[in-house]
Structure 1
Amino acid sequence: MRLTLRSLLLFPLVVLLVQAHEQEWWESTIFYQIYPRSFKDSDGDGIGDLNGITSSLEYLKELGVGATWLSPIFKSPMYDFGYDISDFYDIQDEYGTMDDFDRLIAKANELDIKIVLDFVPNHGSNESVWFEEALKGHEKYYDYFVWEDGVVDENGKLNPPNNWVSVFRKSAWEYREEVGKYYFHQFVIGQPDLNYRNPEVVEEMKNVIRFWLNKGVAGFRVDAIAHLFEVDKELYGGKYPDEPLSGNSDNPDDYSYLNHIYTTDQQETFDMVYQWREVFDEFSKKDGLTRVMMTEAYSSPHVTMKYFGDGEREGAQMPFNFVLISDVNGQSSAQEIKYALDKFLTFKPIDKQANWVAGNHDNNRVASRFSPELVDGINMIVLLLPGIAVTYMGEEIGMVDGYVSWEDTVDPSGCNTDDPINYWTASRDPERTPFQWSADVNAGFSTAPKTWLPVADGYETLNVEVQKQAAKSHLTVYKTLAALRKEAVFRHGRYESVAFNSDVLAFRRWYNGENYVVVVNFRNNPYTINLEYFENVTGHLEVVESSVLSPKKTGDVLHADHVHVEGNEAFVLKVAN
């Protein structure tokens, strides 16, 4: 029988999960990402802070969240809002003090919520003591960074060493007269890359990890890991080579202009992740609590899987699975979405957990990238597929991207476009607007006359307080799903999926005689489908939960052989025993 791509998409993918075992805390929890600057302002300066997070931990507990990952809270000049770290061992003043952090940890421990921090190992800040000492000629700290001589052209003008481009556009090299050389920065000018070919840098960053693990954090999300190493220039005569053209852009200032074969996904990167895991395990051996590592890399499946380990050494427990961000959107068909979901499950090692990420601080919100009507359906996918769920703050209530004018834009990715018309295509500010707690001033986020980013329009009706009081809302649906995923069938059960047509995706979870089916219609077209396509799905099906606009009510009984699905409807069904 000849199998085509089309025929494969129509067949169900059946994932046979490993035999049920006693899961560790990170394997069954929900990780909730907080962008601290936008979550809750406790002191009225328009900027979110640690005390604001501490005061809101009960909300996370009510959601069913067991761990929260905080975007960077470390000392920083804030050119890239915390991802340019000047002191890896201290707290940014706007966010609070070390005492505030200790109180956050204490409160989280009381509520049995784990705190995970952002680890930003690729670069530091050009305002750090390390960099300032490097400029003074301090040999130790000079070798903390990546330096290179410029190239003099035929007109006697000094130019950057090669054609490497920053992720945020323009040359990735910046000249410093103090040392007569260029330093390398894969991101903004204020973020000089650290030199991981220097053993002292390697040990320094391990000590950063140890410092915060000693403070009580339960792990780290590792930022921009794919950029950690550059090619060894000694392999190229002592000079960093130009990167080849990608053919994807005509503008040499664009990151997409080049194929980044010398500055991303270097083999040494994976070894460093395995070394960090050894540090994590040092602590786990002391008290039995696993410290979890999440790695951020928008890479191919083959590359992403290397972060898990190499068969001999362990790596990250959670190499982030970005298929719901990078591979699909609101224009995607059910077949394309099925294909994306199945991909990670197909490639991952059989003894490792999958994870599901639909939104974060770098990408448009689910409600804006798909549609407001699909918020519940996407949350069903994230929370009920086999593996670990990650939710970006606000996705549980269906927050949408806020409008941020050119004048109010602060994200360097948007500002560096130098384009007051099309800046919004690159800016990440819209998904970072303040969290919408209530209909009060500034959505209950802050009492300040002006917040660091404007609050999104429509917050008066789209907020936590309104949705808590509603009989049914995105928030109530999310809480039901969070409780449902604690059941054995969703923690240990098998999985299969099918695209019934171009609009409707369904998947089944089953374990020890229990059967659940989740149905999501990605278009505003109604259908009647036969769920008896799934084995052991026959007879009566009970509605467990449904999307906000669905006419189906919890407890309704449907017949498996003719289930009517409204446009943009999503629901969870349990097969009657």
Structure 2
Amino acid sequence: MRAVLLLPLFGVLSCAKNINVRDERELEWWESTIVYQIYPRSFADSDGDGIGDIKGITSKLEHVKEIGAGAVWLSPIFQSPMYDFGYDIADFYAIHDEFGTMEDFEELVAKAGELDIKILLDLVPNHTSNESMWFQEALKGNEKYLNYFVWEDGVLDENGVMQPPNNWLSHFRGSAWEFREEVGKYYLHQFVVGQPDLNYHNPDVVEEMKNIIRFWLNKGVAGFRVDAVNCLFEVDKELFGGKYPDEPPSGRTDVDSGSHDSLQHIYTKDQNETYYMVYEWRDVFDEISKQDGLPRLMMTEVYASIKDVMRYFGEGEREGAQMPFNFDLITDVDASSSAADIKRAIEKFLTYKPVDKNGNWVVGNHDKSRMATRYGTALVDGINMLVLLLPGVAVTYMGEEIGLVDGYVSWEDTVDPSGCNTNDPVNYVKYSRDPERTPFQWNSDKNAGFSTADKTWLPVAEGYTKLNVEAQKTSARSNLKVYQALANLRQEKVFRYGRYESIALNTDVFAFKRWYNGETYLVVVNMRDSEQEVDLTYFENVIGKAAVVLRSVQSPKNEGDVFDVASLPVAAFEGIVLKL
């Protein structure tokens, strides 16, 4: 007997036949929607300065509506010196000048509300900017704000030269410690030098961040994606005689000694206190939701072991994030992966998650090479079929709906500190995140319709005259039209409430089944450039004929074509949705 993965997310199963097999509870707004991530600097420029802005986003909300997304998640828009392009926040309560004003933001929320689109913001709680009032007051000796940060004495080497307190490394290479003469100590920065870590052992910091959350939720924001959350706490140094200990080497031979990956971060990541901080934030989310009746969503960004990721859902009676991001389709698989690899990556999260919680599917973001580049442009539709039709919440990084690829960014044009800090004009491309942040491609006009500027903050990718939204809207078949059809199909009850089973039919072809209340759909994706014939009767209760509901752009099939499920022909890189 084949194992079937049951997902009792939405009620109690019934043994009776020919009746509704699940209670159709009313879903929260986010459980059946698509979350669309926008990187504001690269989406739409309204004022011609070469940088995307809030008014630009507002002007393009109809596109978000047209593709079927119900929520927009914005990468940071807060006041910042932009050393790390918004992730170094100088004022958590203000909009960054390049993006617009608070009034612009309020207009965005209002326009989104008219279109029934929720707005989610990026919360960056681990650190602030060294230009923030908090840090500047700390440098002046203000005791309150000194304690907002993590300070440590340096150590003298054998030559009497002051050195950092220990071997901790920044995510952006080099020491995670920076000396300040004004204080006579080093401050911790797990990211760029301009991002001093906040001290969450300090109750004032904890309350400050809760007040920031309240401020934006009270402005009608529907929730937050929480950045780098597993870096919040460092180990308590009092357990080590009052000094932070060195972290052990990772043993990796593919990285150099200055790389963050050269150490095991057992003292700076995944500390037990972190989870309980998230649970406290959830209490704040629920507090505001009770006041105004809008359920709030928390998404947490965590690259960690699957067991650690699961803890963000909550423990015991404590609720945490509704969506600890599932990055397995980014970290575990790519164009070289087999059907079995895809099956394992998908079912890892489903296997470990609590039975009463939702899965979620993410294949790209502003930090990782774009989905169409990692998997290949021929698989764009097939991968979008996974993201939108698997059980759980779908997340789309801007451009995945049209198969946007990474742009080329020369060493001279590189601005990402992760690339610049290598000081290596040859190998910087291994570390730079600029290629996945190049401007959105709206049409074949100047700068792909992103901006009227003579120079944009990052160069527009080559090939934009053919690869853009306008071209795909007017084309008879396109990735955009497949995406829109998937978004519509996703609203069917079978994809909201239905059960799930998957099979690696052979090395190359992955398939999954969704069924509910007498309806059965099959999704088949060929990962390789070779024709196949597969037998879908390996799925339980799948026999007879099935009709094509939707197919990828390069598919030779047509909607309505009928095939024997025991011998389904599958073209190279083809993605197909069939209905029994």
TM-score by length of 2: 0.97
1:533 is aligned, of 533, 538, 563, to 538
List per-residue Cα deviations over 1:67-123 (Å, max 9, x = no partner).
000000000000000000000000000000000001001100100100000000000
Distance in 1 of aligned mates of 2:77 and 2:8: 40
Alpha-carbon offset, residue 13 of structure 1: 4.1
In 1: Cα distance, 2:342 partner to 2:244 partner: 40
How far, CA to CA, are the matches of 2:382 and 2:196 in structure 1? 41
Asked if 2 retains the 8 angstrom alpha-carbon contact of 1:76 and 1:92, the reply is yes
How many Å separate the matches in 2 of 1:99 and 1:551? 50
Q: Distance in 2 between matches of 1:108 and 1:17?
A: 29
Tell me, which stretches of 5 or more residues in structure 1 are unaligned?
A: 1-7
RMSD: 1.0
The residue that corresponds to 1:420 in the other structure is: 425
Instruction: Provide the C-alpha distance between the structure 1 equivalents of 2:343 and 2:379, rounded to a whole number of angstroms.
Output: 15
Contact 2:499 2:514 in 1 (8 A): yes
Counterparts of 2:94 and 2:273, CA distance in 1? 28
In the TM superposition, residue 11 of structure 1 has moved relative to its aligned partner by 5.7
SS at match of 2:190: coil
Q: Write the mapping of 1:26-45 to structure 2, written as runs, cut at 5 A.
A: 26-45=30-49
User: Is residue 2:159 matched to residue 1:159?
Assistant: no
In the alignment, does 2:359 pair up with 1:354?
A: yes
- The residue number in structure 2 matching 1:218 is 222
Letter in 1 for 2:479: H
Counterpart check, 1:570 vs 2:578? no
Task: Give me the whole-angstrom Cα distance separating, in 2, the residues matched to 1:489 and 1:172.
Answer: 49
Listed as ranges, the matches of 1:71-110 within 5 Å are 71-110=75-114
Q: CA deviation at 1:284?
A: 1.1
Return the offset for 1:45: 0.2
**DSSP 3-state at the match of 2:30:** helix
1:61 to 62, 65, 73: 65
| Alpha carbons 1:355, 1:388 under 8 Å: kept | yes
Question: Quick one: which amino acid aligns to residue 272 of structure 1?
Answer: M
Instruction: Tell me the distance in 2 between the aligned counterparts of 1:35 and 1:359.
Output: 12
Amino acid in structure 2 at the alignment position of 1:307: Y
**8 Å CA contact 1:36, 1:70 repeated in 2:** yes
CA distance in 2, matches of 1:238, 1:555: 70
Q: Which residue of 1 aligns with 2:17?
A: none
| Matches of 2:256 and 2:380, distance apart in 1 | 36
Shift of 1:18: 3.8
- Matched residue, 2:434: 429
Distance 1:252 1:150 in 2: 20
State the alpha-carbon separation in 2 of the partners of residues 498 and 417 from structure 1. Answer: 43
Alignment partner, residue 208 of structure 1: 212
- Native 8 Å contact 1:14 1:497 kept in 2: no
Distance 2:115 2:256 in 1: 51
Q: 5+ unaligned residues in a row in structure 2: which ranges? A: 12-23
Deviations 1:284-316 (A, max 9, x none): 111221110000001111000000000211000
Residue in structure 2 matching 1:190, options 181, 194, 216: 194
Q: Is the 8 A contact 1:172 1:186 kept in 2?
A: yes
Maintained 8 Å contact 1:12/1:498: no
Identity, in percent, stands at 69
Q: Note if contact 1:327-1:340 (Cα within 8 Å) is conserved in structure 2.
A: yes
Structure-1 separation of matches of 2:515 and 2:66: 27
Matches of residues 57-456 of structure 1 in structure 2 within 5 Å? 57-249=61-253, 251-456=256-461
**Deviations for 1:133-155, whole angstroms, at most 9, x for unmatched residues?**
00000000010000000001121
For residue 471 of structure 1, report the CA deviation from its aligned partner.
Answer: 1.0
Tell me the distance in 2 between the aligned counterparts of 1:412 and 1:17. 42
Cα offsets for 1:425-464 (capped at 9, x unmatched): 1000000000000000000000000000000010000000
* Distance in 2 of aligned mates of 1:573 and 1:17: 24
Please state how far the C-alpha of 1:251 moved relative to its aligned partner: 2.7
Is 1:501 aligned to 2:506, yes or no? yes
Stretch deviating more after TM superposition (368-377 or 282-291): 282-291
* Alignment partners' CA distance in 2, 1:62 and 1:246: 46
What is the CA-CA distance between 1:22 and the residue it aligns to?
1.1
Contact 1:15 1:496 (8 Å CA) reproduced: no
Q: Which moved more, 1:142-151 or 1:12-21?
A: 12-21
Maintained 8 Å contact 1:16/1:495: no
Distance 2:48 2:4 in 1: 53
Counterparts of 1:215 and 1:156, CA distance in 2: 54
**2:227 partner amino acid:** D
Amino acid at match of 2:361: W
CA shift digits 1:343-382 (9 cap, x unpaired): 0000000000100000000000111001000000000000
Residue of structure 2 equivalent to 1:560: 565
Regions of 4+ moved over 3 Å: 10-18
Residue identity in the other structure for 1:209 = I
Counterpart code for 1:548 = V
Give the Å deviation of 1:252: 2.3
The SS at the match of 1:122 is coil
TM-score (norm 1): 0.97
The aligned residue for residue 5 of structure 1 is: none
Asked if the contact 2:9/2:358 (under 8 Å) is kept, the reply is: no
Is it true that 1:517 corresponds to 2:522 in the alignment?
yes
**Contact 1:499–1:506 (Cα < 8 Å) also in 2:** yes
Q: Any idea what SS the aligned residue of 1:275 has?
A: helix
The corresponding residue for 1:3 is none
Q: Is the 8 A contact 2:333 2:341 kept in 1?
A: yes
Q: CA deviation at 1:17?
A: 4.1
Instruction: Give the secondary-structure state (helix, strand or coil) at the position aligned to 1:204.
Output: helix
Report how far residue 540 of structure 1 moved.
1.5
1:464 to 448, 452, 469: 469
Query: Does the Cα contact within 8 Å between 1:11 and 1:498 map onto a contact in 2?
Result: no
- Asked whether the 8 Å contact 2:8–2:356 carries over to 1, the reply is no
Distance 1:70 1:517 in 2: 33
| Secondary structure at 1:26 match in 2 | coil
CA contact (8 A) 2:155 2:164 kept: yes
Does structure 1 conserve the Cα–Cα contact (< 8 Å) formed by 2:547 and 2:560? Answer: yes
User: Offset of 1:12 from its aligned partner?
Assistant: 5.5
CA contact (8 A) 2:551 2:576 kept: yes
The code of the aligned residue for 2:188 comes to F
Structure 2 counterpart of 1:32, one-letter code:
Y
The one-letter code matched in structure 1 to 2:295 is: T
